Amino acid sequence: MNSGKWIVLLGAPGCGKGTQSELLVASDFSFKVICVGDILRSNLKTVVPQLGKPVGEIIGGGTLLPDDVIVYFVKDAMSKMDDVLNTNLIFDGFPRTIGQGEALVKMTKSLGHEISHVINFEIDDAILTKRVVGRSKCKSCDKIYNDYFNKPKVLGVCDICGCKEFVRRKDDNEEVLKNRLSEYYSKTKPLIEFYKNLGLLFSVNADAETATVYKDIIEILSK
C-alpha cells in the first residue's frame, strides 16, 4: 500500500527539469505533476485566513505567500486527487526554500506518506546561460532552436516550415537569468544539503543529452 513515488526535481532555471517532467508523465510511471503555480492561480479568490486577504490580492501586491500557506494549498489540491497515496507525483517548482522543504516534510507525514526521491539536476552555469540565452522559436511552427546547440540547417530558415522569422522570450536574456540564478543559489540550493541529510538526494548530470538524463532518472526511480 501507499506505493506512490512522490518526487521533487531540483535544479537551476534552464536545467531541463520541465522537459524531464513531461517525459516522466508520459513514461510507464505515469507521473502526475503538482504545479504550485497552477494551484495558486486556481485559488486567486480563496481567502488566506492568516492574512485575511484573497491569494490574488496578496500576490498582486508583490508580497510572497508564507511557506505554510503555499503548502496548505498544495495539500488541499492533493487531497482532491483520486487515491493520491498510490499515485506517482512530481512536485514542480516546489519546494523553493528550506522553509517550504520543511513544511512539505510535515505535510506528507500528515498524509501518512513521504517524498521518495529528490533528483538534483547538476549543470554548469556557462552551459545553462547558453541554453537559456540562445533559445529561439520559429514564429510560424513553434519549432525550438538554440544559437549554440541546435541551429537550423540553413542559418535563419526553419527546418520544418521554411519560415524566416524567429522569436525569443523577453525574459531569456543574460540579465534576467543572472537574477534568477542568484535567487536560486541563495534560496533553493540549500535544499540540496537538506535533502542529502534526509538521505533522499540523487544527482544527475544535466549537461548530458535529454535521453541520457532521462535514462539516469528512470534508473534512480527503479531502485
State the residues that interact with Zn ion by CB under 5 A: 138, 140-141, 143, 158, 160-161, 163
17 is catalytic: yes
Query: Active-site residue among 32, 53, 151, 180?
Result: 180
Alpha helix (H) ranges present in 80-209? Answer: 98-110, 125-133, 174-183, 190-197
Q: Which is nearer to Zn ion, 60 or 156 (CB)?
A: 156
What number of other Cβ atoms are within 10 A of residue 42's Cβ?
12
Minimum CB distance to Zn ion, residue 19 (Å): 20
Q: In the block, which residue shows the cell 535529454? A: 210
Query: Active-site residue among 109, 168, 169, 178?
Result: 169
Minimum CB distance to Zn ion, residue 147 (Å): 16
131 is catalytic: no
Minimum CB distance to Zn ion, residue 135 (Å): 15
180 is catalytic: yes
Report the DSSP pairing between strands 117-122 and 6-10. Answer: parallel
Q: Which is nearer to Zn ion, 156 or 190 (CB)?
A: 156
96 is catalytic: yes
* Measured distance CA(16)–CA(75) in Å, rounded: 26
Q: What angle do CA 38, 4, 68 make, to 5 degrees?
A: 45
Minimum CB distance to Zn ion, residue 156 (Å): 12
What number of other Cβ atoms are within 10 A of residue 196's Cβ?
14
Catalytic residue set: 17, 96, 135, 169, 180
